[in-house]
Chains A and B, each alone.
Chain A
C-alpha cells in the first residue's frame, strides 16, 4: 500500500536498500534462486552425473535431517525451548533399535517401531517429570537451556554407560545397490529416503489438515491466547512431545541404517546441523524445518564435490552463521522489528 514516488520528502534509501527490501519481501524466491545458481555452477564445474549422484546422497541425508529438525522446531514453536537434548533422543532411538534388531534379533521394521514408541515415551516422561514442573515455576530461558544441556549429558552418557563406546551397526543390507541412469543408490538408502519422505509428508499433512495440527499451530502462534480459546494445551503439548521425540527416534534409526555407524555421540553430532536446518527454515515453522533439512542435506553432499569430505559438517555451520547474519528469522519466518 505504498504511494508512488516520494521525491524530496522522505528517505527511501539507496538501490542497495531497495534490493534488500525486495529480498526481504520475497525470501523464498531469492533463496531458490541462490540454490539454482549454486547447482548450475556445480554442474558446470563437475558435470551433471557427479552432481546428480551427490544430490541423491544429499536427499537421503536430508530426509533424516528434516525428520530431526521438525521435532526440534515443533518443541521450540510451542514451548520456546531450545532442546539441546534432541540429538540424544536420536541416539536413544537408534540404540533401542539396535537392541531389538541386533541383540534380540527382530526384523528391522519391528525394531524401528519399538524404537519410535520408546523414544516417544521418553519424551512424554520428560515433559511430565521435568519440563512441565519447570514451566509452572516460571523458569527462565537460561534455566531451561542449561537443563536441556544437563539432560543431554545424562542421556548420552547413560547410553554410553550401558552400551559402551564401540561403534555399532544395524542388521541391514549394506551392500546391494540399485542403479538407474548411471546413478547408484544403496538399497537401504533408498528405503531410508522413501520412509523419510513419506513420514515427512504425513506430518506436513497432519499439521495442515487435522484439528490437532491447527491447535498446535495456534499454540505456537500465541500460547496464552490459545489457552483462552478452550484448547487443552496440556494435551497438545504432550502430543507435540510424542511427535517430536518419535520423529527423533525414527531419524536416529534412519541415520544409522544409512551411515552404518552408531556411537553414543551420533545424535549430538547431528544436533548443530539440525539447528541449522531449523533456523534456515524459520524457527517454529515445521515446513521450514522440512525444507531446511533437505536443503542442508543437499548442501553438505554438494560440498563434497569441491572440498574434502571431513569439512562437510562445516557447511552446516556456515549456513547457520550466514542465515543468522542475513536473515535470522529464516526463509519462512516473519519479519521482526529492528
Chain B
C-alpha cells in the first residue's frame, strides 16, 4: 500500500493541497463533534451515543432558519445551538437517571428519531433530497451558503491575507481557518472549565456518582449541563458540515458518524481535549488517504475497507491501549 506522501508528490500540487484542506476541514469538524463526546465520556462518565443527532439538528436548524425564516447565518447558528440544547434536555431529563448502557441506547434512539424526521418530514427538511429541495422552493432565491460568502471574505481579508495565505486560489481555506480557530478556542475553554470547581464536581461524578451526591452535589443537574455542552458542540459541528457540504441530507447523520467520533476519542485518549485534535487529524488523514489511493478496487469496496479500519482501530485500542495516545492511565475510567 503506497503512502499518501508519495501520492502527494506524484499528483498535481493543487490536488494535494485540496486533499489536505479537505482532511483538515473534516478533522476540524469532527474535532468539535468529539469534544462534546469527551466532556461526556471523559469528564462526566455518561455515554452519549446520540451526538450525530445534535449534529443533525445543528445542520438542519441552521439551514432552515436561514433559508425559510430568512435570518442571518450566524443568528441561525445561535438559534440552532439553542434548539440542540433543548433537544439535549428533552432526551436527558428522562434518560440520564438510567444506567450508563441504557442511556447509551436511549441516545441512539434519539439520534435515529432525528434522522428519521430529517428523512421523512419532506416539507421541513427536503426529505431524502436534502435541504437543496427547500432552497429551490423559495420564492426569492435564498441559499444557505449565501451568507457564507460574507463570512468567508471577512476571514480571508482579516486572517488569511495578513499571514500571506491568499484565499483566492483555495476557496475552502477560510472555512478551514474558521473551523480550526473555533476548535482551538473550544479546547482552551474546555480545559479551563474542567480545571475549575465546576469541573471538579464533574470529574467526581464520573468517578463515583454516589460519592458526589453524598457530598451535596446534584449529579443529575451536572449531567444535564454536560449533555447540553455536548449538544452545543455537536450543533456547531453540524453548522460547519452544512457549510462544507452546502446541502444537508439525513444520510450524513447515520450512527456511523457518532462511532467515528468515538474512534477519534479513544485514539486521542480519554480525558484529553488536545488528544481529540490529534486523533481527529490522524483518523481523517488515514480515512481520506485511503479514498485517494489508487487501489484496483471499486468505490464500494474502498468505502468498506475504510470502515473496517475504523472498526479495527476501535477494537485494537480497547484491547491493547485503552488510554489512547494522550490519555493518562490513572484517569482511565473504562474499568468499572
Taking Cβ atoms with an 8 Å cutoff, the residues of A that contact B are 82, 130, 133-134, 138-147, 149-158, 160-161, 164-165, 272, 275-276, 279, 308, 310-311, 313-314, 317, 320-321, 324-325, 328
CB pairs A–B below 8 angstroms (27 shown): A82-B104, A133-B319, A140-B336, A141-B101, A141-B334, A143-B334, A143-B335, A146-B262, A147-B315, A149-B311, A150-B318, A151-B311, A153-B310, A153-B314, A154-B315, A157-B303, A157-B304, A158-B304, A272-B105, A275-B109, A279-B102, A324-B95, A324-B98, A324-B105, A325-B94, A328-B98, A328-B102
Q: Say whether A147 contacts B318, CB under 8 Å.
A: yes
Binds A, one of B112-120, B134-142, B220-228, B279-287: B112-120
The prevalent SS among residues of A at the interface is helix
> A82 contacts which chain B residues (CB < 8 A)?
101, 104-105
Q: Give min CB distance, B96 to chain A, whole Å.
A: 11
Of A149, A155, A272, A310, the residue contacting B259 (CB under 8 A) is A149
In the bound complex, do residue A146 and residue B305 qualify as a contact, i.e. CB atoms below 8 Å apart? no
A324 touches B116 (CB 8 A): no
Q: Is the Cβ of A157 less than 8 Å from the Cβ of B308?
A: yes
A42 to B: closest C-beta gap in Å? 22
* Bound CA–CA A153/B256 (angstroms): 9
- Whether A143 lies near B109 (C-beta < 8 A) is no
CB distance from A127 to the nearest CB of B (A): 14
Judge whether A321 and B109 touch: CB under 8 Å.
Answer: yes
In the bound assembly, the distance between CA atoms of A64 and B4 in angstroms comes to: 46
B192 touches A (CB below 8 Å): no
Check B176 for interface membership: any CB of A closer than 8 A: no
Please indicate which of the listed interface residues A146, A310, A328 has the most CB atoms of chain B within 10 Å of its own CB. A146
The answer to whether B110 has its CB under 8 Å from any CB of chain A is yes
- B312 part of interface (Cβ distance < 8 Å): yes
List CB contacts (< 8 Å) of B272-329 with chain A: 298, 300-301, 303-308, 310-316, 318-319, 322
- Using a CB–CB cutoff of 8 Å, the interface residues on chain B facing chain A are 41, 47, 94-95, 98-102, 104-106, 108-110, 112-113, 116, 119-120, 259, 262-263, 266, 298, 300-301, 303-308, 310-316, 318-319, 322, 333-336
Q: Which 5 pairs from chain A and chain B are nearest by CB?
A: A153-B311, A150-B314, A154-B311, A150-B315, A140-B335
- Shortest C-beta distance, A212 to chain B (Å), equals 27
Give the distance in Å from the alpha carbon of A335 to the alpha carbon of B120 in the complex.
Answer: 38
Q: For A154, what are the chain B residues with a Cβ–Cβ distance below 8 Å?
A: 308, 311-312, 315
CB A327 to nearest CB in B, in angstroms, measures: 11
Q: Is the CB of A142 within 8 A of B119?
A: no
Contact B106 A324 (CB under 8 A): yes
Known contacts A154-B308, A320-B105, A328-B98, A160 near B300 by CB under 8 Å: yes
A248–B311 alpha-carbon span in the complex (Å): 21
A82 to B99, CA, bound (A): 12
Of all chain B residues, the one with the shortest Cβ separation from A317 is: B109
- Contact status of A142 and B310, CB under 8 A, knowing A82-B105, A161-B305, A279-B102: no
CA distance A13 to B75 in the complex (A): 48
Most central of B94, B119, B314, B322 by chain A CB within 10 Å: B314
Residues of the A chain whose Cβ atoms lie less than 8 Å from the Cβ of B99: 328
The residue that B312 contacts in the complex, of A134, A143, A150, A161, with Cβ under 8 A, is A150
CB neighbours of A324 from chain B (8 A): 94-95, 98, 102, 105-106
A265 (CB) vs chain B CBs: closest residue:
B254
With A and B bound together, what is the CA distance between A151 and B105 in angstroms?
17
CB distance from B208 to the nearest CB of A (A): 14
Q: Does the CB pair A320–B334 fall under 8 Å?
A: no
Which residues from B are CB-within-8-Å of A320?
105-106, 109
Tell me which residues across on chain B come within 8 A of A158, comparing CB atoms.
304, 308
Instruction: Name which residue of chain B comes closest to A165, CB basis.
Output: B300
Q: Enumerate chain B residues within 8 angstroms of A147, measured Cβ to Cβ.
A: 314-315, 318-319
The 8 Å CB contact of A311, one of B105, B116, B303, B314, is B116
Q: How far is the CA of A93 from the CA of B120 in the complex (A)?
A: 30
For residue A282, give the distance in angstroms from its CB to the closest CB of chain B. 12
In the complex the two chains form, is B314's CB within 8 Å of A272's CB? no
B108/A272 in contact, CB under 8 A: yes
Residues on A with C-beta less than 8 A from B303 are: 157, 160
By beta carbon, the residue of chain B nearest A155 is B311
**Chain A residues whose CB sits within 8 angstroms of the CB of B335 once the complex forms:** 138-140, 143
Interface pair B120/A142, CB less than 8 Å apart = no
Q: Please indicate the chain B residues that have their CB under 8 angstroms from the CB of A279 in the complex.
A: 102, 105
Decide: B110 and A321 in contact? CB cutoff 8 A. Answer: yes
Contacts A146-B314, A279-B102: A317 and B112 contacting too (C-beta < 8 A)?
Answer: yes
Instruction: Give every chain A residue within 8 A of B322 (Cβ-Cβ).
Output: 139, 143
CB contact under 8 A between A150 and B300, given known A142-B334, A272-B108, A311-B116: no
Bound Cα distance from A39 to B129, whole angstroms: 36
